[in-house]
Amino acid sequence: MPAPWQEILNKIDDYRWEIPQSYKEGMLVPGLIFASESMLSHICEEQVFQQVANVAFLPGIVEHSLAMPDIHWGYGFPIGGVAATRVKDGVISPGGVGFDINCGVRLLRTNLTEDEVRPKIEQLVAELFINVPSGVGSEGKIRVNKKELDEVLIKGSPWIIEKGYGEAEDIVVTEEEGCMKGANPDKVSIKAKKRGIPQLGTLGSGNHFLEVEIVDEIYDRDAATAMGISETGQVLVLIHTGSRGFGHQVCTDYVALLGEAVKRYGINLPDRQLACAPVHSPEGQDYLQAMSCAANYAWTNRQCIAHWARECFIKVFSKSQRELGMEQVYDVCHNMAKIEEYTIKSKKETLCVHRKGATRAFPAGHPDVPNIYRNIGQPVLIPGDMGRCSYVALGTETAMKESFGSTCHGAGRIQSRSAAKRSLRGADVAQALAERGITVKAGSIASLAEEASQAYKDVNEVVNVTHMAGISRKVVRAVPLGVIKG
């Protein structure tokens, strides 16, 4: 029997596959999947293609409903989905951002080498595990009051940096400088704020992590140097988390609200999780303002965690932050809707770009790329699973032309959590990682099985597709040395 994709997709080239508009009645544009043929064979469920097609129903969508090579079956949008809608007559969909608003990745560099860190990795991981709250139900070490939470929601990570959590230099190397403008806490429910207060400064659970890693390949030496990464063996720190219960509640609230708006605006959708409202409508604007609050919460969250990670290194290596060279390379989100300008059919259009499990990938010269990276392009941080590797890449002009300045965000699951747990034991996964020199500490050992390498696509293959397709280009690869999981 042919795989589902063989009957659905038209091959454009080795890395581009189209879902024709005729696949499903009601699609306003075709779908476009960036993938290799061998990756498509991993996509066993037709639901993935259905989801790409469903997104093409969103009013005002332009060009294509896109899927990055780490695409997998989500809810509403596929994970790895990108959709751009015209601001003037299109919609915004909270489902196109997801529950974990501004889930993202922050990368810190150090001037330490593997030889210096490996002998102390057990101690370092233990210290990080104590100082970075993680796991289901964990609470932060800092407690903001209601007024301070509003400051977090309006001002983002610069607010907490002012309180001593980090360096002013961190701000310029954070997407949007750590603050979405237009955030309005009045558009956020009391429930979201109640969920948000105790969870600020927590890693969370699931696929969130903090990883100490070693540079093992440099593909573009000049670009790597611009990012302060100079040699293989250099130690980096990667933080992956988002807006925690705060963002989850904002999404929950607005999916319900916009579910009603859909009826008022007469929008026809094949999946209720795609609930949306015109970008210009009061409901759409309210969501944007609330989403921006969640984005600012997430940047503040990653800022706190980065600060504690630095403190742990300072303690374990008895060196100052300056001596450790522990500077931020970049912080980028992969669950977000942003208003951006693109040229569509030689016409300038203002679009609402939904990236659900996709990373912004702006090219060299783009005004939103920080000055220090303006000549090389925006760094793209792509975490893999805890047993393989992660990548630093750069945005490209091709991404601007073909994928609304977007690329992949990670490896992408191929195995369900329960299937992973059936076939693997968490303790065995930890043992196997230890044998490969990777120290792991997790709140729940069972969760390790869910996050094992076997449950994920090979991130090398995912990143190769984006590199070969030209929507981002590889700069550095790093392999894990120590991992903290929730």
Question: Could you tell me the smallest distance in angstroms from the CB atom of residue 48 to another protein?
Answer: 8
Question: Could you tell me the smallest distance in angstroms from the CB atom of residue 483 to another protein?
Answer: 17
What one-character-per-residue DSSP string does 167-209 give? -HHHHHTBGGGG--TT--GGGS-HHHHHHHHHHTT---STT-E
Give me Rg for the CA atoms of the chain: 21
Contact 62, 349 (CB under 8 A): yes
Quick one: 75 or 265, whose CB is closer to another protein? Answer: 75
Quick one: 196 or 482, whose CB is closer to another protein? Answer: 196
- Report how far residue 473's alpha carbon sits from residue 274's, in angstroms, rounded to the nearest whole number: 31
**For 9, phi and psi rounded to 5 degrees?**
-90, 145
Quick one: 78 or 363, whose CB is closer to another protein? Answer: 78
Question: Could you tell me the smallest distance in angstroms from the CB atom of residue 54 to another protein?
Answer: 10
Contact 329, 107 (CB under 8 A): yes
Question: Could you tell me the smallest distance in angstroms from the CB atom of residue 37 to another protein?
Answer: 20
Question: Could you tell me the smallest distance in angstroms from the CB atom of residue 161 to another protein?
Answer: 27
Residue 302: which of 379, 370, 241 has the closest Cα?
A: 241
Contact 111, 293 (CB under 8 A): no
Q: Which of 208, 240, 248, 409 is catalytic?
A: 409
Quick one: 31 or 204, whose CB is closer to another protein? Answer: 204
- Report how far residue 138's alpha carbon sits from residue 77's, in angstroms, rounded to the nearest whole number: 29
What residue type is assigned to position 132 of the chain? V
Residue 300: which of 406, 146, 142, 182 has the closest Cα?
A: 142
Quick one: 104 or 259, whose CB is closer to another protein? Answer: 259
Q: Is 72 a catalytic residue?
A: no
Residue 191: which of 148, 247, 241 has the closest Cα?
A: 247
Binding site for another protein (CB under 8 A): 45, 72-76, 79, 98-100, 135-137, 191, 194-195, 198-199, 204-206, 245, 248-249, 251-252, 255-256, 259-260, 271-273, 275, 413-419, 443-444, 446-447, 486
Active site residues: 409
